[in-house]
Structures are given as C-alpha cells and as structure tokens.
Structure 1
Amino acid sequence: MVTSLDQLKVSGANGKAPTVEGPWPLAIAKTESKVLKAGHGDTVDKNSTVKVNYVGVNGRTGKVFDSSYQRGATADFPLSQVVPGFSKGLVGKHQGDQVLIMMPGSDAYDSQGGASAAGIMKGDSLVFVVDIVGVPLPTAKGESVKPASGLPAVKDDHGAPAVTIGKATKPNKLVVQPLIKGTGPAVTDHDAIDVKYRTYAWSSGELIEDGYAGEPVAGSMSSVIPGWKKGLTGQTVGSRVMLIVPPADAYPNGSTNPPVKKGETLVYVIDILSAQKES
C-alpha cells in the first residue's frame, strides 16, 4: 500500500491540464492530500462550494477518468455533495492552491459499487489534482450601505432580498445602488462571476427570476446584459447591489427566458460571491 503521495509525480504548466505519473497500479489505505502550489485566498471549509479545475486518475489503471480541462470549463462543487475523499482533501486548503489527493475506494465510489461508466471498479483508489480557482461566499458579506432616497425598498425574505417598488419613481437610465459593500476584489468586465440574484419587473412588482434558490449561479461578465456589465464592473466581491435597468440595457424587445415584456424596466438585487479572471 502507498503510505504517502511521494510515488506520484505531477507536472504541467499553470492553467493547463496536469499530468500524473506513478508506478501503477496504486492503492492507498486512507485519504491523503498535499498542496503542490500554494495560494493565499479564502479557506475552504466543509460547507463550502468550491470552483475548481481538476483531473481524476484511476489508481488501478493510471488512466484519466474525468477532467474539467477537457471540458474547457471550471466546475462548482458543494463539498457536502461530493465523494468523501474529495471533501477531506480540500477542507482547510485555500483559494489558489493546487492540491494532490489520493483516496481509497471507501472514500470514493465503493458505496455505489464503483462507477462503471467511468471505468471505476469497487476497491479502486483514485487520484485527483485539483486547482482551487475560487471559494464563493455563501451570501453577501460586508458593510451595510444606506441607499439613496426614492428607490425601491429592499428587505430580507428568509435570507433573500425582497424588493417592493412602492412609490419609487421609475428612472430612465441605469441606477446602481450598493446595499452591502464587500471587501473582496473588484469585478472586471473580463471576469467569471458567481452570484445569487433576484429579478423584479417594475410594471408589476412581481418576482420573475429567483436566482437565490440553490447554489450560486456561475456566469461570464462578457456575456451578461449591458446593465449588469455597466453596473457590476468595479463592484467588489461580497457586495449586494441593486440595479435598476431600463429596457435599452436589458431586453429592449422583451424576452421569454426570463419572461420580460417589451419595454420593461427591471430591478435586480445581486450578491457578488466570487470573481476570477477567465482562463
């Protein structure tokens, strides 16, 4: 049995798929991990959702069975929903770390009888090399900001922001109103972002999108509507921002998804949970 990770060699350029070499077949008695390259970002805890790039290798065959690099996109994992070895290997690590993990089948897929579609048999030890790209916050975090007068009211609705238009005057240009000022890095127009948000139609006051249910929503600043690009660029991670977006900066001809009428002004409340430069 392997008693440490020293028999494994990991190579590859930053931002590229790593290569894992070892004297296959290999097995391990309990999950072990080590940091190959250290980052200095937020710490991962057992309740975290992590944004990662990774390669998974079967210790029995030495073959790659899964790779986010091959798909060309990072993956977001709530650690409470992954195999135990993945969580054990990442808890306590930091954003920016590259982590080598090896786990026995008991911390991988043994409880499911293996994973035949991926070529994993019961008893197979697995090796992962994981680049922790981001550790999205669970919700907005920072200093409260008193909004300007005359804007829609935002109150807490079981942990999510609820908007009441009330007697507010509809603006004819974009309004950007921070409600919580986060202490993280500023968002750029080339970032990948994780957010939670709600969308309201000004004309009816109705909630038309609820992006607070479930896990954070991942997206790209390069593909958001103009109102988001203008309103979120320069805002900081951890912030909650209300955007009042006129039709010209949203959906001037309306939309079926989300359901927006032609000419509708939209009110967004957005929690910025992470931002990273797109690879």
Structure 2
Amino acid sequence: MRKLPVALAVLSLSAVGLTGCSLPGSAEACPQPTGTADALDLIEVSGGAQSLPQVDVYTPFHVESSQWGELAQGEGTQIDGSESQLVVIDVSVVSGDTGEGLVATPYDGSLTNVNAMSVWSQTFPVFPEALRCASAGSQVVVAMAPDDIDPEVASGLGLTEGESAIAVVDVRKVYLDHADGSNVFNTGNGLPIVVRAPDGRPGVVVPDGEAPDDVVVQTLKRGDGAEVADGDAVRVHYTAVSWDDDEVTGTTWDTTPASIAAGGTEDPVSAELTGHTVGSQLMVVVPAADEASSASIYVIDILGIDATE
C-alpha cells in the first residue's frame, strides 16, 4: 500500500454520499443522517486505534449509492459540517474489487497535519456529511459508489471503471468552528458592540464617539478549553474593523482560520491571547498608530491550540 503525507493524500483522492448513526445523548445537538447501510455489513475493520486499520471485505464489493457508518465513537468537539472547520484525520482507502489497500495517510500519531474540511471535501466531497458529529477517537467507514468518485481521481488511485472504493477515516483532533464559551457581561460604555450570526460569525457596531487611547480587551465569551500560553500556535477566526469608517479590513470567516503565535510583543492582538482559553471570544480595540490612520477593532474566536509534534 502506498503511504502519502496528508496534504498529498487530500489532493489525490475524491468521493460522496451515505448513511449514519446518531451519537447517544447528542442527537439533538448534532443530528446525523439516518438510513440503511446494509453493504457495510460486508466490511470488517480491525487494528489498533492509532495504527493503519486492517480492512477485510467480501470482494468484489460494489455499491450503487455511497454509504457510511461509525465504527467507534469519539468524544469532545464534534465535526459540524462547516467547510472551514479544522480537523486532523487519518484515511485509508481500499479497492472494492480486490480488497487491497490503495493509499493511506501516515498513521504516525502526529497531530500537526491540520486541514480544513474544505480541503478534504475537494478530495472526498462526502466527508463533511459522512463525518458530521464525529469527534476525536471516532472511526468512520465510507463505502463509495463509482459515480461518487471523480474519474481522474479514480484513475489516480488505480480504480477500474465502475469500481467502488472503501475509506476508513480515523478522527484524531477536531477544532471548534466558532467560539462556544459562556457569554460574559461587559459594561464598556463607548465601546463597540458585537453581534453574531447563527453560525457564530461576528458583526461589529461601532459607536459614534472617539476610539480609546489605549489598547482595550474584553472577553465576550469565556471558553472552558485549554489555556493559551506564550508561544502557542493558536487557531483563530478573526474579524478586523476600522473604527473611523466601519469597514471590515480583514477576516478569516470567508476562508479558513488563521494560526497566530500567542504572546508576540509587536502585535497587540497576539499579545492578548495568552491566558485566555479555547472557546473564548475576545474584542481587542487597538488605537491608531498615528493621526493618518484609524483605530482597529478585532473580534477573535479562539478555536484551538496546535500540537507541537
């Protein structure tokens, strides 16, 4: 079996649609699709939780429509289907005709291969749906119909025309896709007001008065995740707004979260991340650098901390 780095594996594969099961006690918070997945009874997956899985399948294996099911249940932050949500996953793909392994990520235990779900969906379009509600420790098997595999990708995998494929996905880490902490009351007269869309995306209402002369930091939501330390690589969503004209000058919400080193001395935003917790949302108001520039308002969602190895 070929083993590829995660980024290369992502760019060299593709697939689609299925069935699933609900996590006990969490169906309302994160409902999964339901249905029948009889073809999955022909697939047996074994092996250690952190190692390349052994896939045994009755061959030739073929499905007319793709199917999926959860083999092991994880815990913690769940994948919610957002294209920008960051995850660390291992994937192994097996031929439906022969049962032989075609391609796999390294399965080396590293949590540093972080990718947005949008990157994986370019390769496997079904993943945002098939992995919905999965969390760290989840293992999901996906039986992919031929029509759900791009012909160019199928050719690159060595699949024949009309051949199905099987993917086993091991979820290693899931980042928040927006701050989920408890709301914090702030008095803050004369400061901007932050409003949020249902998906967590913030909007900023700028007051008519003058911007403060010093950096102001407010905790809008307080998360219960890990505390950020100096030097941590922190994944954040942020929106930056000009105080003078209410214009958005920068945002990650249209792309993917940014990685910021906490505790930087030159950047007032990164300096303020230290000591806050994952799941928190901060508002940082930075005064204008000079008379020709405007003060800036940053709304920052702390989504997770990258592993160092």
TM-score after normalising by structure 1:
0.68
Matched with 1:91 is 132
Q: 2:52 aligned with 1:19, yes or no?
A: yes
Aligned pair in 2 of structure 1 residues 106, 33: CA closer, same or farther (>3 Å)?
farther
Q: 2:84 aligned with 1:43, yes or no?
A: no
Matched with 1:229 is 270
Matched with 2:92 is 56
Matched with 2:169 is 129
| SS state at 2:113 partner | coil
Counterparts of 1:180-259 in structure 2, within 5 Å, are: 180-202=221-243, 205-214=246-255, 216-221=256-261, 226-245=267-286
Q: 2:188 aligned with 1:148, yes or no?
A: yes
Matched with 1:34 is 71
- Structure 1 unaligned runs (5+)? 255-260
Give the letter aligned to residue 93 of structure 2.
V
Residue of structure 1 aligned with 2:297, choices 263, 267, 277: 267
Matched with 1:162 is 204
| SS state at 2:272 partner | helix
Matched with 2:144 is 104
> How far apart are residue 125 of structure 1 and its match?
1.2
Aligned pair in 2 of structure 1 residues 81, 21: CA closer, same or farther (>3 Å)?
closer
Matched with 2:13 is none
> How far apart are residue 133 of structure 1 and its match?
0.7
- Give a deviation string over 1:196-221, Cα, whole Å, max 9, x none: 2211345655321133335x414143
| Conservation of the 8 A alpha-carbon contact between 2:239 and 2:248 | yes
Matched with 1:74 is 114
- Give a deviation string over 1:52-95, Cα, whole Å, max 9, x none: 2222323244121666979x62112159957465356533432x
Matched with 2:213 is 171
- Structure 2 unaligned runs (5+)? 1-38
TM-score after normalising by structure 2:
0.63
> How far apart are residue 235 of structure 1 and its match?
1.8
| Conservation of the 8 A alpha-carbon contact between 1:147 and 1:177 | no
| Conservation of the 8 A alpha-carbon contact between 1:27 and 1:104 | no
> How far apart are residue 241 of structure 1 and its match?
0.8
What CA distance in whole angstroms lies between the structure 2 residues aligned with 1:108 and 1:68? Answer: 25
- Give a deviation string over 1:33-70, Cα, whole Å, max 9, x none: 312xx643123445584512222323244121666979
Aligned pair in 2 of structure 1 residues 92, 212: CA closer, same or farther (>3 Å)?
closer
- Give a deviation string over 1:213-244, Cα, whole Å, max 9, x none: 35x41414369763233211222233221112
> How far apart are residue 128 of structure 1 and its match?
2.6
> How far apart are residue 273 of structure 1 and its match?
3.1
| Conservation of the 8 A alpha-carbon contact between 1:51 and 1:135 | yes
More strand by share: 1
What CA distance in whole angstroms lies between the structure 1 residues aligned with 2:286 and 2:193? Answer: 16
What CA distance in whole angstroms lies between the structure 2 residues aligned with 1:223 and 1:26? Answer: 56
